[in-house]
Amino acid sequence: MTTEGEKTTAPAGSARRALVGRLSWGLADQAASSMTNFAVGIYVARSLGVTAFGVFSLAWVTYGLVLNVSRGLATDPLVVRFSGVPEASWRGAVARASGTALAVGAALGAVSVLIGFGLGGGAGSAFVCLGVVLPGLLLQDTWRFAFFAAGAGRKAFVNDVVWGVALVPALVVAARVGSVAAFLLAWGGSAAVAAAYGCLQSGIRPRSAGAGTWLREHRDLGSRYLVENVSNSGAGQLRAYGLGAIVGVGAVGTVRGAELLLGPFLAVLMGLSLVTVAEAARVLKRAPHRMRAFCLLLGGGQAAAALLWGGALLLVPDRAGAFVLGGVWGAASALIVPVTLGVAGAGLGTGAAAGLRALGAARRSLRAQLFASACYVGGGLGGAVVAGTVGSAWGVAAATLCGSALWWLQLRSALREHHRNSTPEARTS
């Protein structure tokens, strides 16, 4: 005979197992995505040297900017409003959101191509190729968000594995060509293969004609998330371009090389909302009193993992580092400590950011992101003026920790507001 206590415990245990399962698939998916990005960066660094790697890094941060435009307009509203909804509602939303991502990729890809033709040379060809592959890259990213919103993290993982498998022969061909443009086409072309496979996995065809409807329906969230995301990636782009102007393009490659050493955590941070916003939304619906602890566990766990990884990197022999990064290792290894602290600070802040997204507190999250981005640019460029590449890395580390503090202050205020609004007023008889 089952007691009352056992009845209440079983569903709780089942819910915990489901949560662990979804997060496990999220970690597996991020690991696959991290390995793909890490492999591309390492291959380019070893094959082309620090200057060409700097050009590749400029194209990379530009992709990050476009990716965050797509996420702000298409996939962030999808995750916030269509996580755990009935399948029919989810399918309609995914068709419009993926169509929006394709439209963004086509429009901004055309801009990138025009900029590339205007620049000319190696940098110009890199931006032309980036523009060509942007639609496939953005669509592949959208499928990952869509699958996690539906609680089907396994499909997102399989999609990233398909990308990784397609990338292997593409990188071999690119290495024979030996140019930044070839590596960009290999990276983006293999993403397009995974994007096409995502259509088969979901049975959904992106509806670019529904982009206008999607943008109107979710304008309240999309407009703020767009500004928030663009300020985030735009800060990275400004820092990269400014560092190249102040110190030189090689400095951009050096910083990117140091970031590659912490690549698994940076890739997780870049797409963290893929898993955590959907899970935070579920926690908010089912156990809102656990939201603060969930966000703290999420952010604290990432910060601790980044510190452990950075500590391990300090023990890597120079010979092993040179084997991985080639000529980039010597300068990049001097940045391990500040870059690790910056990643740890960012990891701590992402816990609060996920909570604010789940609460729909777009105004508060925008305020925190704008402050964090201003600190990032100011710290990165101010440090570069004072002490070159190393000074820029330390400036970014300090700025990231300051930004993380504001994220948590905003989450605390948002949770208080949510508690007041959801608590019914006391009645007297």
What percentage of the chain reaches a pLDDT higher than 70? 87
pLDDT band at 26 (very low <50, low <70, confident <90, very high): low
pLDDT, one tens digit per residue, over 282-311 is 788 788 888 899 899 989 988 998 899 899
Is the pLDDT reported for residue 320 higher than 90? no
Structure tokens at 362: 């777009």
Find the mean pLDDT for residues 60-79: 89
Closest CA to 56 of 68, 44, 70, 72: 44
Taking the CA atoms of residue 271, residue 277, residue 278 and residue 283 in that order, the dihedral angle to the nearest 10 degrees is 150
**End-to-end CA, the chain:** 41
Find out whether 340 and 310 touch, Cβ atoms under 8 Å: yes
| Calpha distance 222→8 (Å, rounded) | 39
- This prediction's pTM: 0.69
pLDDT, one tens digit per residue, over 174-232 is 888 888 899 999 999 999 999 999 999 999 999 998 899 999 999 888 888 888 788 87
